[in-house]
Structure 1
């Protein structure tokens, strides 16, 4: 607040105001040079002279003066009435004049005004106020002589406090005053600029990090510290804990540490492992009307591909994690397998061979297994055909790849041609 004292120097008849600013402890003296323009001069009447007793000539001159004096009084009476009227108006004029103390953003001054309220006073003085400015008393308050009117301009502050950004308005003129006005706990806090820095009308950007309690778990120990660090990584460093290699924390190191937060340091050791993995081939099937239904012939064998994969192997605080794939390379593409699928209907029978015991022969030759192959790889199927004989009977591919029905059909055709001789050991089963 500002303190004013009024002194009057009677030797010079000058009134002076003394202003003391509590921010600077400086004392200034303001001389009141106000002189109302409406003060009227007092009327001046002619001075009369008294003489000794008159003679005749004197009596004549006295009569002439009496007549002249009467005429003069007749002229002065109206003038006196006008002066009295003006004096009454002057009293009313003086009653509306007010001595006001106006402080605008910390700069005080004294003035005289005929304004009826604060709004009119500010308009007369050319003081513009906005929605964020403070006027005390209120803008519509009535004025009386001796009143004090204070105007404080609002200033925008782009405040970031503990990672949260917002824009606020303050009438404080310094950073320290703004922090106090905004209720920010400044003890132990980090402030991005000097606390004594003045805040201009354009405002400023201010970053504040209050002091917080953080617990850090590392290497089997708990450390609790008070910090105003901007990141978790900084707080860990303040606790005297070092991070090496792939070490990290349970929350991102660049995140903001919160009050009461517990942070765990993760000690990580890691290696890489390269594995070669097969890629399965696909099977492409096409219909073949030359093959009996149920018969599939592999026209081209498939070939699996090869993939080389790199995995990261990590151990966190002594515990192994699941391998994580970090890279892969295609070494060889898989080749699809081509298969022909028979669509030709099977003939109902082969005359002269349908009545024989083909089940007994198949059991003797292959154990009744359509895909059986002898140890030498020469004979295959239910009836152990060699490839040459199979093709001579109209078969395609390998006999063991054909259906059981087709194999029996080809065996019947062979019997019609050569009898039971193709099966020297088991041929007797055909009649058994």
Structure 2
């Protein structure tokens, strides 16, 4: 009887020992939950036993130094990189949440009704990095095919917006911002239609001008000896059109239709100061003090005080005061022959009638 009793005590003692050191614990590693029996005394030992690796960024609850008790729940949350884009604003973040919804709460992001998300709210976050795009309904301006319109959209990118609006993009077309660009509130967007066309054009070829010096003409005076004429080419031209307007023009090939003719011009070399002005010097002395380059600002110019209208009426070039003395006298003679000496009030004063 005593032996039997002793055996029972040992057996009972063994049972008590097993219940004390074989605890039932729940381990939750990033949402993966398992119930385990363990003889580990601390959280660290338990996780090591189950092959759960820890680093300095991992969060464990309760702390790894905590003792294990039956019924404990041990949570392990590893760090997860999240590239977050909210309505075009990009940020880099690290969270310890298990799913998208929890991460958004941690990051203080509350998607509005109708928002577009690149990941489902209940989708688990990966350990190798996550890209999370939240695009709330927003107003943007879209210009395409000559029409500009306001659009309310949750499309995260320009490409998604164009797909939503049924806009096709050709291989040469320009999209601003780019197809992969994230849309921001109140953003202006545009599709520029690019087209290449080739056509045949007639192109003028400038003629050359050659000059020969002539001592019988005053310096500054010229005389055309032989008229020049522009040539003409036929050219094959490639045009780059942006929304129908020429952006770039390139000549692919050209051939001559008519050769240009060189113009020949005599150019005077005679010193205008050597001119004996005679009566014109006397008139200029009275009209302008003999200053052939004067511009007083009163609407009359040069030594003989031409008005611009009168000067032009006799074929005078430019402004009178910018021309040589000889040139001013040349056109004064034309005016005198046409209208008489009365054109100059000083003529009578210097004895010319």
Q: Which has the larger radius of gyration?
A: 1
Taking structure 2 as the reference length, the TM-score comes to 0.42
Taking structure 1 as the reference length, the TM-score comes to 0.36
